[in-house]
Amino acid sequence: MIAKVITDLALDREFDYLVPPGHESEYAVGGAVKVPFGRASRSGYILSFSERSDFDPAKLRMLEGPAADRADIPPNLVALGKWIAEYYCASQEHAIRTLLPAAVRNGKVRERKCRVYFVPDHAAAAKYLADHAEDARLDKRRNVLRLVLRRPDAVRSEYTADADYSAGAFDALVRAGLIASREESIAPDPLAGVEPVPDAPLSPTPDQKKALDMLEEMERTPDGPHVLLLYGNTNSGKTEVYLQAIAKTLAHGRSAIVLVPEISLTPQTVRRFRARFGGNLSVLHSRLTDRERFDEWNRINSGQVKIAIGARSALFAPFRDLGLIVVDEEHDGSYKQSESPRYLARDVAVMRGKLEHARVILGSATPSAESLYNAKQGKFRLCRMASQVADKPAPIIRIADRRLDPPPEPGVSNLLSPMLIDAVRERIERAEQTILFLNRRGYARALCCPQCGYEARCPECSVNYNYTYSRSRGVLSCHLCGNIVPAPVNCPQCGSPEIRYLGSGTEKLESVVHAVFPDARIGRMDSDMMRTPGDYEAVLDKFSRGKLDILVGTQMIAKGLHFPGVTLVGVINADQGLSMPDFRAQERTFQMLTQVAGRAGRGERRGEVIFQTGRDSEVLQFAANLDFDGFSKFDLEFREMLDFPPFSRLIAVIFKGEDEKAVAAYAAAFAAELQVYKHDQVRITAPAPAPIEKIRNQYRYLMTIRGRKLKTIREAVRILALHRTPPAGVSVAVDVDAQDLM
């Protein structure tokens, strides 16, 4: 018998080994094994068995034995991994790697604390980057420093997957004090030591009963759809449906997975599941230590717990008797993984459900166009939860058209419209609270000189206005590459002191609000402000205890927060996202607006929402009328007209490299090779500079493939991308079902 084994070398290649005769029973699909490889010994996983090999059987080598120090992959997950590798054009090694947490895969559990890294002194970092900009020997260090600037407060393992990571450079920067770390203070289990009050299932409302009945019917008809799209506003009772469906699944002796966006994995959420299911629940969040992750994995793998809740990767919880997967907020962008394999957890959940005969619930107040389309096509069942459990009137939403405002007085910022100013004033007088939302951090986004026309921009990236100016820290930072430089006081070109800052972020908004309402107590929440998780909680705590009148923030405050005292929400630039060159811009804007609007009026008083805009937009009208059905009809028509997903499938291929000519040439050659697979159902755009043409001196060319029957061409793309070596310095990334085209 021959075992097909995948090693940890990313070659996208299985190797054949003989199973030692008489020992067949010691090996199974997914088993971790030791194999001879060259002159060394490596570990790998068995993907399948076969009677035959394409190689000369006399030359095949023998498996050395099971790898005792490593965990086996449950066989059902091996099948899922194969599908991920194929569908998402990823190497099999990358796909297999996502199935197991690093701690489990490596078999080594380092007893270490959850340590997160950050850049303690931005001014020092800016100086370091500027001083060594020319020194090629320090390239790696600069890349690592910028990686940490871009993505602060992450654990080490979150950096290691990045192309910019280098262990040596990382350690050197830590020694030099440019990168610092601290032990994460969040308790691994948000409820450690707290015994939640157990609660019992509520008696279902008619909508909930309908949903539960549909799930039972799906169970009885295994040939029909296995996915239920649960479409209902906040407070329509979706979570209660999840809870009861899980209880039924457990009663049938099977297990359940609940996926939520990381940002929604709050103590509030966990408490609700704990109250119903007690210790039968494993909570998988990103800040678990290796040890904890290892333990949770083993608790699931050994059947000690029957429910796992967590973000994206919880989908790979090693249950062997899965009965249900819940994907809450199924439309959420965080379900897409940005590195290989670039999978979309919602779709992989649907596939895992199919492979393991489990049902899947996709829940959302604003379902994705893809899921609605699948429901229309009969692939998913649709359950509309139309009534609210707690009958709350929807907020009143008004649009402040900035073009109708009187011109602002000289020297006065016009960030706030008169309509919004009046509404905030009323709230302050009535001792109610306001949230002001602006999806851009920093003080300003452009710095220019009116004397000579100089405009500051990150030289290594291409988009205009890629710098964000932080006044409090006195630096300009590039939101694309993380580069930071000291902010100039005078124009670097002509020396004029009249340098101007244009465009506004939350830091500026805070100062403007302060100027307009000098007596109001104002808090701000954005990634600049939040240096530690403690900061985050401190602001929220103040706000929830009524110690702040106004909370200013970015998307950090858009989701999930529940503040009964808030009766007004103002969206400063409601039309901001609409001009993105991306066919999902409308959908994202609508989702964002409804989400933010949902923060108003959660208490006794009815909420009010004001969208400020500088243009007409149907999307804003639909959002202001809380008309999701109208919006989705409009959006689907637009996509159908242009033949975008969900009416077609989309694969994006990105070519990157420092030498633009080489990138363009390789992209063209790649595209040319694909032409033979093209048929009349497929459209291939010629490779061209991506909307973001350059990041960190890497030119980026984008090619898209769209069409209905993409299987053949996807296989061709996969082989070209994985098995063809591009010229030195050029790299290729394939993004199947890409969620953005920037």
Which member of 98, 483, 506, 591 binds Zn ion (CB under 5 A)?
483
CA distance 596 to 555: 8
**Whole-number minimum distance, CB 469 to Zn ion, in Å?**
14
Minimum Å gap between C-beta 697 and Zn ion is: 9
- Nearest CB to Zn ion, comparing residues 481 and 717: 481
Is 455 one of the binding residues for Zn ion (CB under 5 A)?
no
Q: Would you say 484 or 596 has its CB closer to ligand ADP?
A: 596
Rg value, the chain, Cα = 27
- For the chain, the farthest-separated pair of C-alpha atoms sits apart, in whole angstroms, at 89
483 binds, among Zn ion, ligand ADP, none (CB under 5 to 8 A by kind): Zn ion
**C-alpha separations of 140 from 29, 108, 136 in Å:** 40, 27, 8
Q: How far is the CB of 119 from Zn ion (least distance, A)?
A: 16
Q: How far is the CB of 508 from Zn ion (least distance, A)?
A: 21
Residue 284: closest CA among 302, 303, 257, 324: 257
491 binds, among ligand ADP, Zn ion, none (CB under 5 to 8 A by kind): Zn ion
For residues 593 and 710, which CB has a smaller minimum distance to ligand ADP in the complex? 593
Residue 494 contact, options Zn ion, ligand ADP, none, Cβ 5-8 Å cut-off depending on partner type: Zn ion
Whole-Å CA distances, 642 to 267, 646, 709 = 43, 11, 17
Residue 234 contact, options Zn ion, ligand ADP, none, Cβ 5-8 Å cut-off depending on partner type: ligand ADP
Structure tokens at 506: 């939350």
Q: From the list ligand ADP, Zn ion, none, pick the one residue 458 interacts with, judged by a Cβ distance below 5 to 8 Å according to partner type.
A: Zn ion
Residue number with CB closer to ligand ADP (54 or 391): 391
Shortest spacing between CB 481 and Zn ion, in angstroms: 3
Task: Spell out the SS3 assignment of 302-328.
Answer: CCCCCEEEECHHHHHCCCCCEEEEEEE
The three-class DSSP label of residue 284 is strand
If binding is defined by CB under 5 A, does position 19 make contact with Zn ion?
no
Q: Which does 389 bind (CB under 5 to 8 A by kind): ligand ADP, Zn ion, none?
A: ligand ADP
Rounded to whole angstroms, what are the CA distances from 540 to 154, 184, 535? 21, 19, 9
- The entry of Zn ion, ligand ADP, none that residue 232 binds, CB within 5 to 8 Å by partner kind: ligand ADP
User: How far apart are CB 243 and ligand ADP at their closest, in Å?
Assistant: 8
Give the shortest CB-334-to-ligand ADP separation in angstroms.
Answer: 18
| Partner from Zn ion, ligand ADP, none contacting 208, C-beta within 5 to 8 A by type | ligand ADP
The residue from 212, 265, 458, 654 that contacts Zn ion (CB under 5 A) is: 458
Residue 205 site contact among Zn ion, ligand ADP, none (CB < 5 to 8 Å, cut-off depends on kind): ligand ADP
- At its nearest, how many Å lie between ligand ADP and the CB of residue 392? 10
Q: Please give, one letter per residue, the 3-state secondary structure of 142-186.
A: HHHHHHHHHCCCEEHHHHHCCCCCCHHHHHHHHHCCCCEEEECCC
Closer Cβ to ligand ADP, 188 or 204, answer by number: 204
Instruction: Name which of Zn ion, ligand ADP, none residue 461 binds, using a CB cut-off of 5 to 8 Å depending on partner kind.
Output: Zn ion
Collapsing DSSP states into helix, strand and coil, what is residue 431?
coil
Applying the rule CB under 5 A, the residues between 577 and 596 that interact with Zn ion are: none
Is residue 7 at the binding interface for Zn ion, with CB under 5 A as the rule? no
Length of the chain: 742
Among 73, 89, 461, 716, interactor with Zn ion by CB under 5 A = 461
Ramachandran class of 107: left when φ > 0, alpha when ψ lies in -120 to 50, beta otherwise: left
Contact assessment for residue 353 and residue 363, using Cβ atoms and an 8 Å cutoff = no
**The 3-state secondary structure of 204-242, one letter per residue:** CCHHHHHHHHHHHHHHHCCCCCCEEEEEECCCCCHHHHH
- Which one of 37, 454, 634, 677 is in contact with Zn ion (CB under 5 A)? 454
Q: Is residue 48 a contact point for Zn ion (CB under 5 A)?
A: no
Residue written as tokens 């893809």?
A: 370
The contact mask relative to Zn ion for 434-453 (x = CB under 5 A, - = no) is ---------------x-xx-
Question: Which amino acid, one-letter code, is at 306?
Answer: K
- Residue located via tokens 């989309």: 650
In whole angstroms, the minimum distance from the beta carbon of 195 to ligand ADP comes to 19
* Pick 35 or 212: Cβ nearer ligand ADP: 212
Residues of the shown chain interacting with ligand ADP in the complex, contacts defined by CB under 6 A: 202-205, 208, 232, 234-240, 389-390
* Helix or strand holding residue 256 (H, E): strand 255-259
Q: Which residues of 184-197 are buried (b: 16+ CB within 10 A; e: fewer)?
A: bebebbbeeeeeee
Interface residues toward Zn ion, by CB under 5 A = 449, 451-452, 454, 458, 460-461, 478, 480-481, 483, 491, 493-494, 496
